[in-house]
Amino acid sequence: MDPSVYEAAESGDVGFFRRARHGDVSVLHQKTPAHKNIFHIAAEYKQLHFFRDVLFDDQSLLFWADNKKGNTPLHVAARVGCDEVVQFLIEHAKKLLHMERADEERGPNGEANKLLRITNLQGDTAFHVAAK
**58-101 pLDDT, tens digit each:** 556 788 899 999 999 999 999 999 999 999 988 887 776 665 55
How far does CA 87 lie from the centroid of its chain? 12
Average pLDDT over residues 38-65: 84
Compute the distance between CA of residue 122 and CA of residue 106 in angstroms, rounded to an integer: 30
Burial 110-119 (b: 16+ CB within 10 A, else e): bebeebbebb
Classified by CATH at the fold level, domain 3-131 comes out as 1.25.40
- Determine the residue type at 101: R
